[in-house]
Structure 1
Amino acid sequence: MAHASTRFTVDRTVPGLMVKIGDYPLHHGGVGAIRSLGRLGVPMYAITEDRYTPAAASRYLHGRFVWPTTGREDPERLVDGLLRIGRRIGRPTVLIPTDEEAAVLIAEHADVLGDRFLFPRTPRGLSRRVASKQGLHELCIEHGIPSPRAVFPQTQEDIEDFAGYARFPVVAKNREAFQRRSRPAVNGTTRIADAAHLRRLAKAWGPRPGVILQEYLPREEAEDWVVHAYFDADSAALSMFTGVKVRSWPPHAGMTACAYVVGNPELAEMTAQFIKRIGFSGIVDLDWRYDRRDRRYKLLDFNPRMGAQFRLFENEAGVDVVRAQHLDLTGRAVPEAEQRDGHRFVVENIDLPAWLAYRRSGYTTPHVPDRPASTELAWLAADDLKPFFTMLARFVRPGAKHLWQMWRGRAGRHHDG
């Protein structure tokens, strides 16, 4: 695609480091971050699972650090690993976490990491709290932000009580964004049809279920909205973008497959006020659902880091949230400009099955433009082809099998709200 011309200059003496914890090599968001700053001449480094990930193949990657992790390591070991990487880079470096584990690790070890790296500082415990489904729900109640009704069972007896009065269907999600010592109770977002289904699932959750049971917002009466933004040390928005999620995979439950930039001043203002109240600084990726039944936007998820689809959003000055963070942390102004309404973002390897599934269901999103003003692909870029072909090589055979298993075994049971 034709990228917007930039109206700013970056500090090319300050590199960026993409930080990921866990094994997910096909991550288009990491490739997007490498390209975003790399195209401006910023030296980009990345932590990769091995030498042959799409991120490792990017022409804009200055250096890679092969460091396979699981997310179950002791935090002290992960911090030591980051410090070793920082010493090898040899100069102050902007950290760009791509998952909750990395974002929380950086926030909770800011005193140790701050001498070598640049990153936004958040109040102690806040990143972990917003990444937690229970913590976020409590913050929403505290600050008057609409969110789906939810309960947090502590025992199997609590689940049995809930089964007796709940209005089904309901949604089950893992209470915490990640568990270092145990397997998650559910795989993603799971729609539960009735009390019998709940009791069957609960048998595997153990004596202390780590789940949230949440009100189901029917897709026929809802729209999925996303907000990506960057907030400075005073929790003021230096860049803010709103858009509509059109398709995800698995359908209505998983990763964004196709989305459009659509202006929504009301939602932007709600987000800005909420972030200001809780005092968060840094990049955010928020999932909201508009419930047509009561005409309210309800906050579903708060990711205290860049979202995989962040390249959907770039303003007319050429600023996205990753560029905004680098500019701000290096002491440069972040230029204001309008977002590119009508721009579309497509994740090639998952959008085709998602499109087929949504076409069969007849689901539509009213706010989507008739035709996109422009389109950006997650993987394919004319100036950086190797990540696309590396993705294909790793995805085609096991990826096709995985998509089929997800569709056969999970479609219809998952929902992201």
Structure 2
Amino acid sequence: MKNKAVILGTNYYIGLSALRCLGVNGIHTVAIDYSKKETYGNKTKYCSERIIGPHYKEQKEEFVKFLINYAKKQNEKPVLIPCHDSYVEVIDEHLTELKKYYLIPQTETGLYSKLMNKEVLHRLAMEKGVNVPETVRVNEENFYEKIDSIIKYPCIVKPTDSPTFVAKFRRKLFKVHNREELEEALNKAKEANLEVIVQRIIPGFDDHMHTFDAYLDQNSKVTHWVTCQKHRQYPINFGASVYTEQKYVPELYDIGAKFLEEVGYKGFAEIEFKKDAETGKFYLIEINVRITNLNSLLYKVGVNFPYITYMELVGKPIEPKAIKTNTRRVFWYAYEDFLAIKGYIKTKQLTLNQVMLSFLKPKAYAIWDWKDPIPGISYVGIIVGKMLKKVFKRTK
């Protein structure tokens, strides 16, 4: 293929999986990061070029110019694939300009950002008849009365802008159990100049979390899709997937495909749902508008989303496909899963026996690959280095 694939953000396993999914098919892959520090993803043998550029946020304008200058030097337009929300925000802001030089699935400027914004997503979902958790905005009248009567405790304080919130607090949200904790969380958000909303917690353990992963073509029609069920997250209860199983749930297609098609989405998206343990209804929690941490699992069960994206954009679309069986295969991010297991057992949400039995399923590893071991070895080196630093700090 003459078109290169430019992957943004390979200092994490999401970028690593994207590089592998493309490189294994002979695609010339380009890993662009802002630093060499702890960048284990681009150590893969499937990475053709490794480039260090300006920081996507601290030097945004320089970063955009850098991308454009790189593309200008190529014989054919590269395909641009972001693997982190912050890169998506930059692409969305400069979509018209970047599309002159790159192949990008989305055509509507601002749509990525709308779907990443929790408050806008909530409104869109309600307009389309999709269930969302009951929400109260901070500036609403009778705010605390609504919390007591509609939301109730415990509840969650959730950012409208997740990437900025996570960068500031190193967590996805605040869980609060009373008014005092709620006021404390709201004050933290206010001091950080971050907008938040308060939502009801949908009842159900973490295995009530599901995903609908899909690709929509340039006609905004779902052509490829997979559904999954989470088993464990880190941090526990309100974190990222660390142990997730592919599971066929047709109802998620009925809800998710209709919603994405109606909003005119194009490209890859992952909708997270939670099934209410009391009513059985699925609630839309959030949408990831870029390749996600489940990518290695999706590839292993037979749907290669980065390659599907690439091939459609270069004019060679791949035949539609959906996984309508249960493969039992699970995504496993071992390091954070062990941290999660400790938390689940400590809080008595899981037993050791339940955890041990879960390991019997076939795996799709987040990082490790016997045919491509260097990224895994590099990652272990990073973890060991961090542990040694902690030890030396304690002994000083």
TM-score by shorter chain over 0.5:
yes
Contact 1:228–1:310 (Cα < 8 Å) also in 2: no
Equivalences for residues 290-309 of structure 1 within 5 A: 290-309=275-294
1:18: which partner in 2?
A: 7
How far is 1:77 from its partner? 3.2
How far is 1:252 from its partner? 1.5
- Matching of residue 393 in structure 1 with residue 381 in structure 2: yes
Contact 1:15–1:44 (Cα < 8 Å) also in 2: yes
Q: Secondary structure at the match of 2:382?
A: helix
Cα separation, partners in 2 of 1:139 and 1:363, compared to 1, 3 Å: farther
Cα separation, partners in 2 of 1:379 and 1:400, compared to 1, 3 Å: farther
> What TM-score comes out, normalization by structure 1 length?
0.83
Q: Secondary structure at the match of 2:48?
A: strand
How far is 1:87 from its partner? 3.1
How far is 1:356 from its partner? 3.0
Cα separation, partners in 2 of 1:254 and 1:229, compared to 1, 3 Å: same
How far is 1:354 from its partner? 1.7
1:288: which partner in 2?
A: 273
Equivalences for residues 26-41 of structure 1 within 5 A: 27-41=12-26
Contact 2:207–2:230 (Cα < 8 Å) also in 1: no
- Matching of residue 193 in structure 1 with residue 177 in structure 2: yes
- Matching of residue 375 in structure 1 with residue 360 in structure 2: no
Cα separation, partners in 2 of 1:109 and 1:200, compared to 1, 3 Å: closer
Determine the C-alpha separation between the residues in 1 that align with 2:97 and 2:128: 32
Cα separation, partners in 2 of 1:375 and 1:220, compared to 1, 3 Å: closer
Determine the C-alpha separation between the residues in 2 that align with 1:147 and 1:370: 30
Q: Secondary structure at the match of 1:120?
A: coil
1:279: which partner in 2?
A: 264
Structure 2 residue corresponding to 1:218, chosen from 203, 211, 220: 203
Determine the C-alpha separation between the residues in 2 that align with 1:384 and 1:32: 11
Higher alpha-carbon deviation: 371-380 or 128-137: 371-380
2:55: which partner in 1?
A: 69
Contact 1:37–1:44 (Cα < 8 Å) also in 2: yes
How far is 1:276 from its partner? 1.0
Determine the C-alpha separation between the residues in 2 that align with 1:69 and 1:46: 14
- Matching of residue 133 in structure 1 with residue 118 in structure 2: yes
1:9: which partner in 2?
A: none
Cα separation, partners in 2 of 1:222 and 1:395, compared to 1, 3 Å: closer
Cα separation, partners in 2 of 1:99 and 1:144, compared to 1, 3 Å: same
Determine the C-alpha separation between the residues in 1 that align with 2:195 and 2:170: 9
- Matching of residue 107 in structure 1 with residue 92 in structure 2: yes
Determine the C-alpha separation between the residues in 2 that align with 1:96 and 1:275: 19
Determine the C-alpha separation between the residues in 2 that align with 1:143 and 1:269: 13
Determine the C-alpha separation between the residues in 1 that align with 2:307 and 2:76: 19
Contact 1:174–1:185 (Cα < 8 Å) also in 2: no
2:341: which partner in 1?
A: 355
Structure 1 residue corresponding to 2:190, chosen from 194, 206, 214: 206
Determine the C-alpha separation between the residues in 2 that align with 1:290 and 1:143: 18
> What TM-score comes out, normalization by structure 2 length?
0.87
Q: Secondary structure at the match of 2:369?
A: coil
Tell me the amino acid that sits aligned with residue 143 of structure 1.
Answer: K
Determine the C-alpha separation between the residues in 2 that align with 1:344 and 1:236: 27
1:86: which partner in 2?
A: 71
Determine the C-alpha separation between the residues in 2 that align with 1:284 and 1:399: 35
Higher alpha-carbon deviation: 184-193 or 111-120: 184-193
How far is 1:332 from its partner? 1.4
Determine the C-alpha separation between the residues in 2 that align with 1:234 and 1:132: 24
Determine the C-alpha separation between the residues in 2 that align with 1:68 and 1:359: 43
How far is 1:398 from its partner? 2.6
Cα separation, partners in 2 of 1:221 and 1:56, compared to 1, 3 Å: closer
Tell me the amino acid that sits aligned with residue 362 of structure 1.
Answer: Q
Higher relative contact order (CA 8 A, sep 6+): 1
Tell me the amino acid that sits aligned with residue 202 of structure 1.
Answer: L
- Matching of residue 148 in structure 1 with residue 133 in structure 2: yes
Segments of 5+ residues of structure 1 without an aligned counterpart are: 1-11, 403-417
Determine the C-alpha separation between the residues in 1 that align with 2:387 and 2:90: 30
2:314: which partner in 1?
A: 330
2:253: which partner in 1?
A: 268
Cα separation, partners in 2 of 1:83 and 1:399, compared to 1, 3 Å: farther
Determine the C-alpha separation between the residues in 2 that align with 1:138 and 1:342: 35
Tell me the amino acid that sits aligned with residue 127 of structure 2.
Answer: E
Determine the C-alpha separation between the residues in 1 that align with 2:335 and 2:224: 29
2:394: which partner in 1?
A: none
| Identity percentage of aligned residues | 21
Q: Which runs of 4+ in 1 moved over 4 A?
A: 157-166, 182-186, 369-373, 399-402
2:393: which partner in 1?
A: none
- Matching of residue 384 in structure 1 with residue 368 in structure 2: no
Structure 2 residue corresponding to 1:320, chosen from 282, 304, 312: 304
Determine the C-alpha separation between the residues in 2 that align with 1:116 and 1:209: 34
Contact 1:315–1:338 (Cα < 8 Å) also in 2: no
How far is 1:158 from its partner? 6.8
Cα separation, partners in 2 of 1:80 and 1:91, compared to 1, 3 Å: same
Contact 1:238–1:324 (Cα < 8 Å) also in 2: no
Higher alpha-carbon deviation: 89-98 or 251-260: 89-98
Tell me the amino acid that sits aligned with residue 150 of structure 1.
Answer: T
How far is 1:164 from its partner? 5.7
Q: Secondary structure at the match of 1:381?
A: coil
Contact 2:153–2:176 (Cα < 8 Å) also in 1: yes
Determine the C-alpha separation between the residues in 2 that align with 1:390 and 1:372: 27
